[in-house]
Amino acid sequence: MHKKAVLKNGLRIVTVPIKNAKSVTVLILVGTGSKYETKDINGMSHFLEHMFFKGTKKRPNTLKISETLDMIGGQYNAFTSKEVTGFWAKVDKKHTDIALDWISDMFLNSKFEAEEIEKEKGVVIEELNMYLDMPSSYVSELFEDLLYKDQPAGWRIVGEKEHILAFGRKKMVDYYQTHYSTQNTVICVAGDVNSKQIEGKINTYFAKAENTTLPQKVATKELQSKPEILLHHKKTDQTHFCLGVRAYDMYSPQKYALSLLSIILGGNMSSRLFISVRERNSLAYYIHTSVDTTTDTGYLVTQAGIKNESLEKAIALILKEYKNLRDIKITPRELKKAKDYLRGSMSLSLDSSDAQASFFATQELMEGKLLTPEEKLKLVDKVTVADINKVAKDIFKPEKLNLSVIGPIEEKEKERLEKLLVI
């Protein structure tokens, strides 16, 4: 059974014992990301994440950092989102102490050397270029650009080239000191571990972690009165698009109905949109519907890559399914199928120590409470056909519709597409 503890310095620890597991995952989540940035330092959270791998006094360079876990066959990485930055290490359980020593050293003792910062600018800009060259990835960013415009929620996590090039050591250290605190940090250890022993070790390894005052995140404003479109011209063999609606944040009780609704729409290979757009009309190789929820925003979106000449037909088919869900109640069989799918996929997704660590640590950081998978599924099981219908009627409205497109499309076609966004 998972266990939570809080150290004297305010650091929260979650342990998830998994009997007979061969691996142990150590995961650190920090409640900061691009939503916590100002325009001039947009991309700082992500850049700083890179800099943790550049050296400490004990491990003075990238080679020493990486070979520590490479020599024991460990896995490790870091990530940044709009509201969370994470660092993790997954090792054979007999190497748990090495993982704790390694991750605490990086987290607390990184040097952030000016010379390394200058070198890393090239790496981060190439990462940005990589995303810009991937339409299936970039179109999702354009969708959020459209939703949130020029405010932190609408800015790129990686940042813009001009900001990245202007980063210096002082700004980076300032950001680390003001945004990294025991107040917004959770450490989770999952695997075949003893909770009490792990808590004692973390208390030793992270004794230096400081409880500092944190800046407030700017609240996201959502303003929309009619369907909106963002087009990005690019010579591609396929047109990629996101068509979706504003929905609910992670604290909304309607999020469970929203998740089931998205599964029914485009969550798997027997979903309505997969059958309609791919199987019956052969317009796309990939099409899926998903939900994104954060502390103050949320949306449901369908994304697809289709024949360049089939954009209008694909949009019409998707809107037809949105309208059907809104105007015609789903069947009890469809609801049961979605619930069973969610139950099965959750079970499969939690089949490793790193997945378990992420499941519990994310809850603790973002919501301040811990539910087991079964407790979450009980809330899902309570969702009724009427709940799905209520959510569909609430979100599938013209004034909540948004469409982002990447492909060989001209701005003059915008007016024609606007006429299609009727629901």
**pLDDT tens-place string over residues 334-382:** 999 999 999 999 999 999 999 999 999 999 999 999 999 999 999 999 9
DSSP 31: S
As a whole number, mean pLDDT of residues 238-257 equals 97
Query: Is residue 124 situated within a structural domain?
Result: yes
Q: Would you say 25 and 96 are in contact if contact means Cβ atoms under 8 Å apart?
A: no
Asked if pLDDT for residue 309 goes beyond 90, the answer is yes
| β-pair type (228-233, 401-407) | parallel
Residues with a known catalytic role: 49
Query: Is residue 210 situated within a structural domain?
Result: no
Instruction: Give the 3-state secondary structure of residue 397.
Output: coil
Angle at 361 between CA 355 and CA 362, to 5 degrees: 90
Instruction: Give the 3-state secondary structure of residue 125.
Output: helix
Q: Would you say 308 and 407 are in contact if contact means Cβ atoms under 8 Å apart?
A: yes
Asked if pLDDT for residue 1 goes beyond 90, the answer is no
Q: Would you say 386 and 254 are in contact if contact means Cβ atoms under 8 Å apart?
A: no
Q: Would you say 33 and 81 are in contact if contact means Cβ atoms under 8 Å apart?
A: yes
Q: Both 201 and 232 in a single domain?
A: no
As a whole number, mean pLDDT of residues 268-276 equals 97
Q: Is the dihedral of CA 304, 307, 312, 318 positive or negative?
A: negative
Choosing from 148, 171, 205, the residue where a domain stops is: 205
> Rg of the chain's alpha carbons, rounded to an integer?
23
Q: Provide the percentage of residues in the chain whose pLDDT is more than 70.
A: 100
pLDDT at 392: 98
Q: Both 146 and 10 in a single domain?
A: yes
Q: Can you point out the beta strands (E) in 294-363? A: 298-306
Residue 163 has phi, psi (to 5 degrees) of -75, -45
Q: Both 189 and 238 in a single domain?
A: no
- Paired with 301 in beta bridges are 244, 290
Q: How far apart are CA 143 and CA 259, in angstroms?
A: 19
Residue 27 class from Cβ within 10 Å (0-12 exposed, 13-18 middle, 19+ buried)? buried
Query: Is residue 222 situated within a structural domain?
Result: no
Amino acid sitting at position 158: V
Q: Can you point out the beta strands (E) in 247-360? A: 284-293, 298-306
Query: Is residue 216 situated within a structural domain?
Result: no
Q: Would you say 423 and 400 are in contact if contact means Cβ atoms under 8 Å apart?
A: no
Choosing from 158, 174, 205, the residue where a domain stops is: 205
Asked if pLDDT for residue 143 goes beyond 90, the answer is yes
Query: Is residue 118 situated within a structural domain?
Result: yes
Q: Both 303 and 370 in a single domain?
A: yes
DSSP 215: P
As a whole number, mean pLDDT of residues 237-250 equals 97
Q: Both 233 and 268 in a single domain?
A: yes
Query: CATH no. for residue 342?
Result: 3.30.830.10
Q: Both 237 and 349 in a single domain?
A: yes
- The residue with tokens 């342990």 is 15
Query: Which structural domain range is residue 379 located in?
Result: 228-420
Residue 285 class from Cβ within 10 Å (0-12 exposed, 13-18 middle, 19+ buried)? exposed
Residue 96 has phi, psi (to 5 degrees) of -55, -40
Q: Both 195 and 238 in a single domain?
A: no
Length of the chain: 423
Q: How far apart are CA 146 and CA 91, in angstroms?
A: 41
Instruction: Give the 3-state secondary structure of residue 116.
Output: helix
Query: Is residue 166 situated within a structural domain?
Result: yes
**Pseudo-torsion of CA 222, 183, 168, 220, nearest 10°?**
0
Q: How far apart are CA 83 and CA 300, in angstroms?
A: 18
Asked if pLDDT for residue 16 goes beyond 90, the answer is yes
Q: Both 293 and 163 in a single domain?
A: no
Q: Both 32 and 127 in a single domain?
A: yes
In angstroms, the first-to-last Cα distance of the chain is: 47
Residue 32 has phi, psi (to 5 degrees) of -150, 155
Query: Is residue 246 situated within a structural domain?
Result: yes
Residue 84 has phi, psi (to 5 degrees) of -140, 140
pLDDT at 316: 97
Q: Both 196 and 243 in a single domain?
A: no
As a whole number, mean pLDDT of residues 166-187 equals 97
Asked if pLDDT for residue 228 goes beyond 90, the answer is yes
**Pseudo-torsion of CA 274, 279, 280, 282, nearest 10°?**
100
State the average pLDDT for the chain.
97
Instruction: Give the 3-state secondary structure of residue 160.
Output: coil
As a whole number, mean pLDDT of residues 60-88 equals 98
Q: Both 158 and 294 in a single domain?
A: no
- Which of 23, 188, 169 minimizes the C-alpha distance to 103? 188
Helices (H) and strands (E) in the chain, counts: 16, 11
Query: Is residue 308 situated within a structural domain?
Result: yes
Banded model confidence at residue 236, pLDDT cuts 50, 70, 90: very high
pTM of the model: 0.95
Choosing from 160, 190, 205, the residue where a domain stops is: 205
Q: How many domains would you assign to the chain?
A: 2
Query: Residue 164: in which H helix or E strand, if any?
Result: helix 161-166
pLDDT at 109: 98
Q: Both 243 and 141 in a single domain?
A: no
